[in-house]
Structure 1
Amino acid sequence: METLKKKVLVVDDDEVIRDLLINFLKFSGYEGLGAPNGQAALDMVLVDPPDMIITDIHMPFMNGFQLLRAVKRVNPDLPVVFITGFAHFRRFFADKTARADGFLEKPFSLEAIDSLVKKFLA
């Protein structure tokens, strides 16, 4: 019997970063999925929830904070990790109401992504 791969949804309006992370996740043995913004990601979560979400914060249509709140309402145990190039968002991460499960500043290493995913999906 085949073991199902854990699904990781990467949400970023930067197609290069999104594709890089998806390909890295696939290479690492996960099912990498992508969405260009929070609304597209939420639509995917409602139809077929991933095992983890890695999301940018600053995006059109629905930002990372809005996505986080919406996801946690429907699936409070789904790990959501922020990635952002805007260091000032770190203060929001410290706010317990944000409820994100992790935070990585851009630029980050693929090793950091690997460690983070293993932390939540091992």
Structure 2
Amino acid sequence: MRILIVGAGDVGFQLGRRLSRDQHDITIIDADPIKVRRAAEQLDGLAIEGSGDSYRVLRQAGVADADVVAAVTDNDDANLMACRLAKASGVEVTIARVRNAEFSEPGFVLTPAQLGADHIIHP
């Protein structure tokens, strides 16, 4: 499975490590060159420096060929935008990490799909 991870912080790095061990084809994006270098050196996959909520960067990372996009940065808006762009690019499954607990509460006025993601995870 081709999985694109937006965010190479602790969550993204550990997710990439696990998915890589499970033989998934991973690409990880982060704007921080230090995190990108760490991912490139320690994970079996492609690491790209750039903003995950940039369509240009997502295209460079091969978003159109991804089966899943998991946006797990510490920025809710960036994660949701990355998922919206991925979905518009034909990605079947999108997952956004959202720190604002209200977004994932039952009965919240917007569904995950209306927020731009198939699934919302709260830290």
The corresponding residue for 1:7 is 2
- Root mean square deviation, CA, Å: 2.8
1:67 to 2:86 alignment: no
Partner of 1:55: 71
Does structure 2 retain, via aligned residues, the 8 Å contact 1:10–1:55?
Answer: yes
Aligned to 1:120: none
Aligned partners of 1:11 and 1:35 also within 8 Å? yes
Residue 12 of structure 2 is matched in structure 1 by: 18
Residue identity in the other structure for 1:54: A
> What are structure 1's unaligned runs of at least 5 residues?
1-5, 107-122
CA shift for structure 1 position 63: 0.7
Determine the C-alpha separation between the residues in 2 that align with 1:53 and 1:92: 24
Q: TM-score w.r.t. structure 1 length?
A: 0.61
2: CA distance, partners of 1:92 / 1:34: 31
In structure 2, stretches of 5+ residues that fail to align are 31-50
- The amino acid of 2:6's aligned partner reads V
Alignment of 1:1-122 (within 5 A): 6-12=1-7, 15-36=9-30, 37-39=51-53, 42-47=55-60, 48-49=62-63, 50-56=66-72, 58-59=74-75, 63-75=78-90, 77-90=91-104, 91=108, 94=111, 96-106=113-123
1:118 aligns with none
Which amino acid counterpart does residue 70 of structure 1 have in structure 2?
L
Query: Residue deviations 1:20-53, cap 9 Å, x none?
Result: 111100111212221124235x435324232210
- Runs (4+) off by over 6 Å: none
8 Å contact from structure 1 (residues 57, 65) kept in 2: no
Residues 66-118 of structure 1, C-alpha deviations (whole Å, 9 max, x = no match): 2222222232x431111233312223752642242112221xxxxxxxxxxxx
Counterpart-to-counterpart distance in 1, 2:20 and 2:112: 32
Higher mean C-alpha deviation, range 24-33 or range 63-72: 63-72
Structure 2 distance, partners of 1:96, 1:24, is 26
The SS at the match of 1:39 is coil
The number of equivalent residue pairs is 97
